[in-house]
C-alpha cells in the first residue's frame, strides 16, 4: 500500500475524515514550500498536493493562476518540485501527491518522471487535464513505478466516465464539487452529494471532495458528504497575502468544525 492509501485507510478506520491540502510549489519560494509542508504535517494534514507550476492552468481560478505565474517567474520547474519533495521526505512521512497538467510530465518524460518521483519520495500524481480514456499509457508507467494515480470526477460526468475514473484511480478519487475552475465559493454546491454517492457506488477507494472550500463551515459540510476534503485556493491565497504566515494555524482553523 502507498503512503496515501495507508493514511486514508487509517483515517477511515478511526471514523474520521481526511484533510487534503494543496499549495503551488515554489510560491513564494521552494524553501517556503518545504517549510509549509512540514507545518501542514504538524497541523494534521493527511495528504499534501504539490501543484507543479504551469503556464496555462486552465482548470484553475485567478488565485492559483497567480501562484503558478509567480512560481514560474521565480524559475520553478518540475525538477525543482521533485527536489522539494526530496527535502520534505527527508524530514517527515506526510503523503505527497504531485498535482500537474500533462504537458510538464510529457516534456520531462513519463518514464523518467515516474522513476524520479518515486526516488524523491512522492506517492502519487494527479494529472488535471488527462482524461481516463487517454491515460492507459501513463497509468501503466505510474503504477509500474509504484505511484498512485488520482483522477478527477465532475458533476457533469456521465456514469460511463465515472466508471473509468473509478477504475483508473488509486489512493483516492477526487470529486469536483461544482462545474468550473478552482476558487473559493460562498457555499458548497448541491451537486456535491449526488456526485460523491455515484462514485462511492463504483469504488472502495476514498472519495475526497474539493473545489471551492474556504471556511470551517464549508469544510464541515463537505466532510459530512465525502471521505475527505481538499482545500487549495484558500491556502494559496493565505500564502499570497501572508508569505511567512502561520499556515499550520490556518489549517487548524479550517479543520476546527470537522
Q: Which element (helix H / strand E) includes 165? A: helix 159-168
Residue 185: strand pairing partners: none
Q: Which element (helix H / strand E) includes 216? A: helix 216-225
Each residue's pLDDT tens digit, 28-55: 999 999 999 999 999 999 999 999 999 9
Q: Which CATH class is domain 3-255?
A: alpha beta
Question: Helix-strand-coil percent breakdown of the chain, rounded to 5?
Answer: 50, 15, 35
The answer to whether residue 258 scores a pLDDT higher than 90 is no
What mean pLDDT comes out for the span 195-222? Answer: 93
Each residue's pLDDT tens digit, 53-84: 999 988 788 999 999 999 999 999 999 999 99
What mean pLDDT comes out for the span 103-108? Answer: 97
SS (H, E, C) 23-39: EECCCCCHHHHHHHHHH
The answer to whether residue 132 scores a pLDDT higher than 80 is yes
Q: pTM score, two decimals? A: 0.94
Q: Which of 249, 205, 248, 213 is nearest to 234 (CA)?
A: 213
Q: Coil, strand, or helix at residue 69?
A: helix
Distance between CA atoms of residues 154 and 107, nearest Å: 27
Catalytic residues: 49, 60
15, 66, 194, 247 from 125: Cα distances, Å? 26, 22, 26, 23
To the nearest whole number, what is the mean pLDDT of the chain? 94
User: What region, left, alpha or beta, does residue 146 occupy, with left being phi > 0 and alpha being psi -120 to 50 degrees?
Assistant: left
Each residue's pLDDT tens digit, 139-193: 999 999 999 999 999 998 999 999 999 999 999 999 998 554 454 445 566 778 8
Residue 173: strand pairing partners: 207
Amino acid at each position: 500500500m502507498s503512503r496515501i492509501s495507508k493514511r486514508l485507510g487509517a483515517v477511515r478506520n478511526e471514523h474520521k475524515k481526511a484533510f487534503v491540502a494543496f499549495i503551488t510549489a515554489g510560491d513564494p519560494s521552494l524553501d517556503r514550500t518545504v517549510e509549509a509542508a512540514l507545518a501542514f504535517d504538524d497541523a494534521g494534514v493527511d495528504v499534501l498536493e504539490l501543484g507543479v507550476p504551469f503556464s496555462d492552468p486552465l482548470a484553475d481560478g485567478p488565485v492559483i493562476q497567480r501562484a503558478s505565474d509567480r512560481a514560474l517567474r521565480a524559475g520553478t520547474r518540475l525538477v525543482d518540485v521533485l527536489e522539494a519533495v526530496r527535502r520534505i521526505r527527508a524530514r517527515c512521512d506526510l503523503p505527497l501527491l504531485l498535482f500537474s497538467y500533462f504537458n510538464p510530465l510529457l516534456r520531462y518524460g513519463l518514464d523518467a518522471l515516474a522513476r524520479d518521483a518515486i526516488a524523491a519520495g512522492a506517492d502519487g500524481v494527479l494529472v488535471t487535464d488527462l482524461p481516463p480514456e487517454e491515460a492507459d499509457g501513463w497509468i501503466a508507467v505510474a503504477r509500474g513505478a509504484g505511484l498512485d494515480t488520482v483522477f478527477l470526477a465532475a458533476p457533469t460526468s456521465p456514469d460511463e466516465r465515472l466508471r473509468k475514473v473509478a477504475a483508473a484511480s488509486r489512493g483516492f478519487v477526487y470529486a469536483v464539487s461544482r462545474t468550473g475552475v478552482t476558487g473559493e465559493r460562498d457555499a458548497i454546491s448541491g451537486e456535491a452529494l449526488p456526485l460523491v454517492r455515484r462514485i462511492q457506488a463504483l469504488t472502495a477507494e476514498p472519495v475526497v471532495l474539493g473545489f471551492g472550500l474556504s471556511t470551517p463551515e464549508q469544510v464541515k459540510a463537505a466532510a459530512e458528504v465525502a471521505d475527505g476534503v481538499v482545500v487549495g485556493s484558500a491556502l494559496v491565497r493565505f500564502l499570497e497575502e501572508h508569505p511567512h504566515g502561520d499556515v499550520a494555524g490556518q489549517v487548524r482553523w479550517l479543520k476546527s468544525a470537522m
